Chain A
Amino acid sequence: MTTKSDMGEFIAKAYQPKGPVVLDCQVKNIYYGDFRAVRDTHIPIEKNKVTGFIGPSGCGKSTVLRSMNRMNDLIESFRFDGSIHYHNNDIYNKKIDPVVVRRYIGMVFQLPNPFSMSIYDNVAFGLRLNRFQGDEEEMVVQALKRAAIWDDVKDKLKNSGLSLSGGQQQRLCIARAIATEPDVLLMDEPCSALDPIATRQVEELMIELKQHYSVALVTHNMQQATRVADVTAFLGVDISQGGRTGYLVEMDDTKKVFEDPQQELTQQYVRGEFS
């Protein structure tokens, strides 16, 4: 069922989404300077689902994720060839302002990165940025509650965001990201710097969050993908071209990917034969 690209490279079978798609990501090529980092990767992000990205290191899963709200524009040598459709707009169209894109497609990073401000100001930051006219305090409290950190911080909203523990900082960053009610939440290995208990809390939170948002989650932890993701995309690394170019190998419902993978490479990866 697989096809080949013009250059004779493997192209994954297209995933047929079962629900509405918010962000349709079709990567032809992503370059950093002359280095081709990712090729031929089509990943639709479905509404109110968690889409997991798994794959070995260097397969470009973070690169693809960071392309989805044009964070990679900050890297000078970055070049994107393809399209990412968001509500009938290609976010890589020249007319599109990346700053506006990022307001609707929020991001949670690998390392918790609160600002050096109070906890309250961290969450209110995005609201103030957008000149939010309503009840700021109510929105802040709601975001902190949704991010499951309200009970930890309700008595110390004036304290520094940097005074919290790693897991609390990450949940604060999630609260900050969702305070502005984004459509899509991109999470780039949000638990990799957290301990098991904090990881558990953030995972439970992700399952909660998909009721309101659509989540794209990069993870290096396969168990996390099985626990959290509804749909999983497996990316591999192609070393045939001399470089280390990542590409989509297989994308399907998480259960299918882990229990009945169609590709040899996926089977080896989910069995833990390489990472």
Chain B
Amino acid sequence: MNDDTPEILPPKLDLPALDKNVFEFRALKNSFLTVFVWVIGILASVPLFSVIFMLIVEGGSRLDLEAVTAIPPAGFETGGGFGNAILGTLIMVAIASAISIPIGIFAALYLSILEPSSKVATISRFLSKVLTGFPSILAGVFVYAVIVITTGTYSAWAGGVALAVLMLPTVTLAAEEAMRQVPQKMKDAAYGMGCTKTQVIFKIVLPTALPGILTGVILAVAGAAGESAPLLFTALFSNYYMSELAEPTASLSILIYNFSGMPFENQIELAWSASLVLVFLVLFFNILARVVGRSKFRD
């Protein structure tokens, strides 16, 4: 090697710039899509929040003790409220729950544990799924024909049964799903401890599935509380507090329907307040469902 041969230096590496470049094409595309998704997300929640906002603005002003306890005012009266409608809604939902929850849970036991693949189970599971999409007004018409006509009067009973018809498939399917998710290994363990089938169901399957069952039940209750169509021809409406279950009964949803169409300022204000109460009621049940849906002993 000669001394006068020039030393060959390694070429200077042409490192690409590692700094962030917001104007680079992919970075631009990324920022654009991020903004786009945010905007769409906000747009999607606009209807929900505007409804709640409007209800609070319009209904909040009249929401006081009188509104939730007094009976509905007549034509040109001022004041009044919808206490009887709140009570009516609660009682009819309670009747509906008392009918549909036990039947739904036992039906779910049959569908998920006792005879999951029998013909009866397959057919009733299919019919339950069909019934979840059942137009609610038809439940009202059905109960009108079966109960209102035979007893000769509109009643809280009939309203409760109509709501129960709507709740039953929801409760059944949710409870079936919850029970089906109880792992076989837990049932095996219980049989291995010397449990009878009844004990396995009451000590393991139902307690383990309880959060799921309750979630389904409460969502069904929330749905029923907001229904108006099935109550139109079953419970009708009443301007007074109920004195017995076998008489026409007021409900929040029907009160809103009636009052919002009236030409009186007072009634329209009350309809807004009643809507707000109804939304709170449904919201309360939904939040309750989320809270009880958390099992204490998860892994």
Q: Contact residues of A with B, CB < 8 Å?
A: 69, 71, 74, 99-104, 106-107, 109, 111, 113-118, 125-126, 129-130, 160-163, 173, 176-177, 180
Contact = CB atoms under 8 A, between A and B. Distances in A.
A88 to B, nearest CB: 20
A99 B192 CA distance: 8
A106 B192 contact: yes
B188 A113 contact: yes
B189 A102 contact: no
- Interface size class, chain B: 20 to 34
A116 B186 contact: yes
Nearest to A70: B191
B195 interface: yes
A129 B208 contact: no
B299 A109 contact: no
A167 to B, nearest CB: 15
Contact of A176 (B191, B193, B203, B295): B193
A162 B298 contact: yes
Given A115-B208, A116-B186, A160 B195 contact: no
Contacts of B193: 102-103, 106, 125-126, 129, 176-177, 180
Contacts of A177: 192-193
Contacts, number: 74
* B contact patch SS: helix
Interface in B235-277: none
A102 B297 contact: no
Contacts of B185: 109, 111, 113
Contacts of A101: 194
Contacts of A129: 193-195, 199, 203
A176 B186 CA distance: 13
A74 B295 CA distance: 28
5 contacts: A99-B194, A107-B192, A113-B188, A113-B189, A116-B295
Interface in B177-213: 183, 185-186, 188-196, 199, 203-204, 207-208
Contact of B296 (A106, A114, A160): A160
Contact of B196 (A99, A104, A107, A130): A99
Contacts of B183: 113
B209 to A, nearest CB: 10
Interface string B89-131: 0000000000000000000000000000000000000000000
Nearest to A111: B185
Given A125-B203, A160-B296, A160-B297, A100 B194 contact: yes
Contacts of A106: 192-193
Contact of B192 (A102, A116, A161): A102
A108 to B, nearest CB: 8
Contact of A162 (B199, B204, B299): B299
Contacts of B194: 99-104, 126, 129-130, 180
A113 B183 CA distance: 9
B204 A115 contact: yes
A106 B188 CA distance: 12
B136 to A, nearest CB: 36
Nearest to A101: B194
A160 B204 contact: no
Contacts of B188: 71, 74, 109, 113
